[in-house]
Chains A and B, each alone.
Chain A
Amino acid sequence: MAAELSTVDQVQAVADDKYKYGFVTDIESDLAPKGLNEDIIRFISAKKGEPEWMLAWRLSAYRMWLTLEEPHHWARLDYPPIDYQDSHYYAAPKRKEDGPKSLDEVDPQILETYKKLGIPIQEQAMLAGVVAVDAVFDSVSVATTYKAKLEEMGVIFCPISEAVKKHPDLVRKYLGSVVPYSDNFFATLNSAVFTDGSFVYVPKGLRCPMELSTYFRINEKSTGQFERTLIIADEGSYVSYLEGCTAPQRDENQLHAAVVELIALDDAEIKYSTVQNWYPGDAEGKGGIYNFVTKRGACRGRNSKISWTQVETGSAITWKYPSCILQGDNSQGEFYSVAITNNRQQADTGTKMIHIGRNTRSRIVSKGISAGRANSTYRGLVRIMPKAEGARNFTQCDSLLIGDRCGAHTVPYIESRNPTAKVEHEATTSKISDEQLFYCKQRGLSDEEAVSLIVNGFCKEVLQTLPMEFAVEAQKLVAISLEGSVG
């Protein structure tokens, strides 16, 4: 209950002000010089105190990246070229020793920042057993709560840099096993320069009793942020992971290229939920985050399941396709998505469901909402491999347009190489009608209340898959991100 209340308060604060996350904390950063070269990668690796194999992996990625070209041609996105030499690739808040041992040791300014964000860690720490927070401030984890409690149960939940040192066997076995460093331009860049992110390992047979959650935040001026998250659910285990983001307001575009890898072994299930509300830029499209993310899960074991839910309301550019590789027989993949674009935002998002094992099933529900002069594209691939006997897919893609200057596009690819497979695709495009708006207003609702109600109804099927803590926040975010879109 308490966690929910705090979420409501937090959301209320957001509702009071369109984007009050636009502030910059002046914590002196431990900055790497601008630019990217092998020395910078060695610097990052040294800062993290990494073993040699990790550095070697990074360098291989970097050398590969030099040979790759930024994917500009296929996504329906339009943005100026990114100067990769104009960014800092490492920024850490200054710390006393090697890191705080408890919340008391956390820089008060950082805690203050969280307070402004409405995520009081101290309060969270008191809410024992509800939500564990691996809070990431810029690139370095500053506080990890509930770790001890999770450890007792055998769950490993820690910053990935710590996992590299403490659990090298697990990291070496699984890192890059779903998204190899050679995967794509942005994932390869991430592999070379990632600075932090989370690592989760849930042991055999354990149903993780709490939602694991991370609040990411980009704070350092012109620092691209490159998280790397790795989640492993061992046989018969279950874990639900929540990710929510806010970023301060500024003019330069900020690059963000995260990689998330999920691995579900036999009978294991991973539920990964994201609410993303990074700064989308102003009404004219100035500023805003560039979000190029590679998220992929492997259902490696039989009867395993991976479920992605995303609510994407922020960022100037969203390039994101959380996918499932359905390798184990009878494994299941799900993708539930709400993508809202307003003003000049652009989103090209969707999923890939790769059916390899027999009787694999996948379900895709995508809701795209465009307002202002925004463009939203659903891009999805359903691929049935020759051995995927009896594979099933159901896809539903709905687009909602608000106003007459926005765009919605649906680009589904279906490749079936097994005649027993059954693939269904449904798509609709609709507009909020004047009739609906007037009906709501005649019942006393303002324009904004009406749009919020109608859009939340449109997204309901997706929003209800979110954990409770996020559902309330997401509903309010839907309303906030569409403010000013009618009337």
Chain B
Amino acid sequence: MALIEIRNLHASVDGKEILKGIDLVIEPGQAHAIMGPNGAGKSTLSNVIAGRPGYEVTQGSVTYLGKDLLALEPEARACEGIFLAFQYPVEIPGVATTTFLKTALNAHRKYRGEGELDAMQFLKLVREKTRALGIGDDKLRRPLNVGFSGGEKKRNEVLQMSMLEPRLALLDETDSGLDIDALKVVAEGVNALRSPERSFLIITHYQRLLDYIVPDFVHVLADGRIARSGGKELALELESRGYAEFTGAAA
């Protein structure tokens, strides 16, 4: 069974149609990259999957592990294993990163009918994960994303991903605002999470990220539709030729 099956998906924001019939199937273990010009609807696609308020699905279906995903609340989608790594992670003053992680993890465990982790179990787990990502304990004590650099914020997203162990990770322009060193660290973190059960939808404007996180498939999104699909070599082709032919075709 496919992990997620998107059929003829149409979606609007403020009454304006952004997605105009998306078809996409992701099997377990696959990494798909969505590329395309600005304003093509790339981020809209990830937001619709995650269930962000304000994104209205007008037509089509999204089936996730055999369930009607669109019928689920955003928090249920999260607990069912859909993780959105935000382009702009949100600051929550006064809430220590570790408190946030623990609350999120326990919400997932509760949803699955498992008991909450106690402080010791949680600490052991979080230590393990932070060590792998090179995140210091001092960062965990700081309020979530408050005063974090761009790289720290994105690394924190990867940390959350590794704690919550999603089935489907949506990376929304994870490379934006990162220098090359930070990009490598984040990509390594993501690559460490790749497994035969876990799938990725990588949204990016540039080919650069795909040098480090190598996708199985690349799709070009233009004017709310998938204009072309191919293997990883398609990304290189786009890098040299740009999106002109797609924006031109749309015009």
Chain A contacts to B: CB under 8 angstroms:
433-436, 438-446, 449, 453-454, 456-461
Q: Does B132 reach chain A (CB closer than 8 Å)?
A: no
Residue of A nearest to B80 (CB): A444
Q: Does B78 reach chain A (CB closer than 8 Å)?
A: yes
Residue of B nearest to A463 (CB): B94
Query: Which of B53, B89, B93, B164 is within 8 Å of A457, CB to CB?
Result: B93
Supposing A443-B160, A444-B79, A445-B107 touch, asked if A436 and B94 sit within 8 A by C-beta, the answer is no
A460 near B104: Cβ-Cβ < 8 Å:
no
Contacts of A454 in B (CB 8 A): 92, 95
Query: Which of A439, A441, A445, A456 is within 8 Å of B94, CB to CB?
Result: A456
Residue of A nearest to B93 (CB): A457
Supposing A434-B53, A438-B53, A453-B103 touch, asked if A445 and B93 sit within 8 A by C-beta, the answer is no
Extra 19 A-B pairs, beta carbons < 8 Å, given A433-B90, A444-B164: A434-B53, A436-B92, A438-B52, A439-B86, A440-B104, A441-B73, A442-B75, A443-B103, A443-B104, A443-B160, A444-B108, A444-B111, A445-B107, A449-B107, A454-B92, A454-B95, A456-B95, A457-B95, A460-B94
A445 near B90: Cβ-Cβ < 8 Å:
no
> Smallest CB–CB gap between B23 and chain A, Å?
25
Contacts of A461 in B (CB 8 A): 94
> Smallest CB–CB gap between A391 and chain B, Å?
29
B90 near A435: Cβ-Cβ < 8 Å:
yes
Residue of B nearest to A446 (CB): B75
A457 near B107: Cβ-Cβ < 8 Å:
no
B89 near A441: Cβ-Cβ < 8 Å:
no
Query: Which of B50, B84, B103, B143 is within 8 Å of A445, CB to CB?
Result: B103
Supposing A438-B52, A453-B95, A454-B95 touch, asked if A444 and B90 sit within 8 A by C-beta, the answer is no
> Smallest CB–CB gap between B82 and chain A, Å?
8
A439 CA / B74 CA spacing, docked (Å): 10
A439 CA / B144 CA spacing, docked (Å): 11
> Smallest CB–CB gap between B14 and chain A, Å?
14
Contacts of B122 in A (CB 8 A): none
B residues 71-101 with Cβ under 8 Å of A?
73-75, 78-79, 83-84, 86, 89-90, 92-95, 99-100
A433 CA / B95 CA spacing, docked (Å): 15
A444 near B104: Cβ-Cβ < 8 Å:
yes
A457 near B94: Cβ-Cβ < 8 Å:
yes
A461 CA / B93 CA spacing, docked (Å): 11
**For A433, A443, A456, A459, which residue has the most chain B Cβ atoms within 10 angstroms?**
A443
> Smallest CB–CB gap between B180 and chain A, Å?
27
Residue of B nearest to A367 (CB): B94
B78 near A444: Cβ-Cβ < 8 Å:
yes
> Smallest CB–CB gap between A248 and chain B, Å?
32
Q: Give me 6 A-to-B residue pairs in the complex whose CB atoms sit less than 8 angstroms apart, sorted by A's number.
A: A434-B54, A439-B90, A444-B111, A446-B107, A454-B95, A456-B94
> Smallest CB–CB gap between B169 and chain A, Å?
12
A439 CA / B87 CA spacing, docked (Å): 11
B143 near A457: Cβ-Cβ < 8 Å:
yes
B103 near A436: Cβ-Cβ < 8 Å:
no
A442 near B95: Cβ-Cβ < 8 Å:
no
A89 CA / B51 CA spacing, docked (Å): 57
A439 near B95: Cβ-Cβ < 8 Å:
no
A443 CA / B161 CA spacing, docked (Å): 9
A212 CA / B108 CA spacing, docked (Å): 40
A443 CA / B83 CA spacing, docked (Å): 7
Residue of A nearest to B94 (CB): A457
A253 CA / B77 CA spacing, docked (Å): 45
B residues 37-59 with Cβ under 8 Å of A?
50-54
Residue of A nearest to B77 (CB): A442
Contacts of B73 in A (CB 8 A): 441
**For B73, B90, B143, which residue has the most chain A Cβ atoms within 10 angstroms?**
B90
A461 CA / B84 CA spacing, docked (Å): 31
A445 near B95: Cβ-Cβ < 8 Å:
no
Query: Which of A435, A441, A443 is within 8 Å of B164, CB to CB?
Result: A443
Interface string of B193-234 (1 = CB under 8 A from A): 000000000000000000000000000000000000000000
Residue of A nearest to B101 (CB): A443
A449 CA / B74 CA spacing, docked (Å): 13
Contacts of B89 in A (CB 8 A): 439
Contacts of B86 in A (CB 8 A): 439, 442
A458 CA / B91 CA spacing, docked (Å): 12
Contacts of A443 in B (CB 8 A): 78, 100, 103-104, 107, 160, 164
> Smallest CB–CB gap between B117 and chain A, Å?
14
A185 CA / B153 CA spacing, docked (Å): 54
B residues 151-194 with Cβ under 8 Å of A?
160, 164
A442 CA / B79 CA spacing, docked (Å): 8
Residue of B nearest to A458 (CB): B94
> Smallest CB–CB gap between B112 and chain A, Å?
10
A174 CA / B209 CA spacing, docked (Å): 73
A440 CA / B108 CA spacing, docked (Å): 12
A441 near B75: Cβ-Cβ < 8 Å:
yes
Residue of A nearest to B110 (CB): A444
8 smallest beta-carbon distances between A and B, as pairs = A457-B94, A457-B95, A444-B107, A443-B104, A439-B90, A460-B94, A444-B78, A441-B74
Supposing A436-B92, A453-B100, A461-B94 touch, asked if A444 and B75 sit within 8 A by C-beta, the answer is yes
A456 CA / B75 CA spacing, docked (Å): 20
> Smallest CB–CB gap between A430 and chain B, Å?
9
A449 CA / B95 CA spacing, docked (Å): 13
A317 CA / B75 CA spacing, docked (Å): 36
Contacts of A460 in B (CB 8 A): 94-95
A204 CA / B162 CA spacing, docked (Å): 57
B50 near A442: Cβ-Cβ < 8 Å:
yes
A63 CA / B153 CA spacing, docked (Å): 65
Contacts of A449 in B (CB 8 A): 103, 107
A460 CA / B94 CA spacing, docked (Å): 6
Contacts of A459 in B (CB 8 A): 94
A460 CA / B50 CA spacing, docked (Å): 30
Contacts of B52 in A (CB 8 A): 438, 442
Contacts of A444 in B (CB 8 A): 75, 78-79, 104, 107-108, 111, 164
Contacts of B53 in A (CB 8 A): 434, 438
A456 CA / B143 CA spacing, docked (Å): 12
Contacts of B95 in A (CB 8 A): 453-454, 456-457, 460
Contacts of B100 in A (CB 8 A): 443, 453
> Smallest CB–CB gap between B208 and chain A, Å?
26
A460 CA / B160 CA spacing, docked (Å): 23
> Smallest CB–CB gap between B223 and chain A, Å?
26
A449 CA / B73 CA spacing, docked (Å): 14
A445 CA / B54 CA spacing, docked (Å): 19
Contacts of B160 in A (CB 8 A): 443
